[in-house]
Structure 1
Amino acid sequence: MIDRRRWGITIGQMLQARIAAGDVAPRVRPMPAPGPHASDEEIARAEHRLGFELDPQHAALLREIDGWGDVFGNGDLLTTADLGAGPRWSAAQQLLDVMYEDGPFESFPPRDAVYPFHVSDLDVFVIWRGGPATDQGCPVYWLHGEVVDTWSNVFGYCLATIARNQISIDEVRDPAAERTARRPAARIQDGRVVRGTWDGRPE
């Protein structure tokens, strides 16, 4: 399990990267503040609404920051109050409904085995509860009609926010550079994620 000290250091690095991105492009990337620490009671209420326990790493993240707008430069990390209720939760459910109806989701976890914890207008980030655990955290998927990226757990997702904000900074500083904010598309094959190049061919 990731200890509290490592969570604190990583959240601090996320905050520094997000502030730097906002400083480079303040009008495009204004700096929203992360939410305060979630209490055990707030986490318990969220779990009651959902009808299941949160992924342990997700709960640990919420105990550090209870939600964060535009954390990834692409949507919002949901608060405990958002989980299982409210407009952002409904938006995430609608995106998942469409993706599971239309997307190539063979060998992907069933609909009721994933839950959203980060949502934008077109993308949703989900945790596969009950999936193979790493440091007591289950896999995370970034979905946009297909799998855009995946991480072994929520802690890996947090590390990715740091890298993504750095990409945003580099792109603003060098507008002529090739845009690389999104990772190559990926698909599920034989129960594992297979990445592709930008033209869709497997690496």
Structure 2
Amino acid sequence: MPYQISRYILLLSIITTYLGLAQDNYQILQVHSNCINQTNMNKFDNAYEKSPTKFTNTPTVVMLTANAKLVSISDAPEGKVSINFDIWQSWSDPRLAFHEPSSSGFYNIGEQQTSIGSNGEVFRQVLAGIDAPLTEVGDTKFRTNVMFNPTELEDDVVYRWSPKPVTVSENKIRGCGIAGVPTTCPTSEDTEGDDRRMNCIRVMIDISCA
């Protein structure tokens, strides 16, 4: 028994060291309960309950990428812009592989789509429509500040932008289009709590009109 306990502690130590994440009081991010092996509906939950990962208190790092597409522009009572964000959330955590199905799968969960790999690699796609006010910065140039909170995951993860975080569609509405690649900010000025966790994601978008 002492040998088994020592081996168990060593295993947790190796996993934690391998991840290289700061210790925190957040549980590891788990895949949606519908994302299970279809041949054994209880395999996912049973394996998680028995796994050492359930008691590992390091957060999972989630990488964010997004594509911004201009949908509409309104004039009155004040200028506003509607933008669709096609947001991809991805994370690769070796601890997930302990209880992931051995085969890769693609699942539809409401308006979300989740692709699951066999090594704990998870990709989730969410389409978010956002209405934001326009600020005039020139005769034909405008700026909007878009913020969204991925509240579904905020208790379990640390958010980071990918190396190329935001791409834009080249479509135009009434002669206006998104100019250049938007810049991103990790948090808003109003965000409270631990700075290591990105509770809010903000994107600055410049719009140019012909």
User: What TM-score, normalized by structure 1, do the two folds share?
Assistant: 0.22
Q: Which structure shows the higher helix fraction? A: 1
TM-score by length of structure 2 reads 0.21
Greater fraction of residues in strand: 2
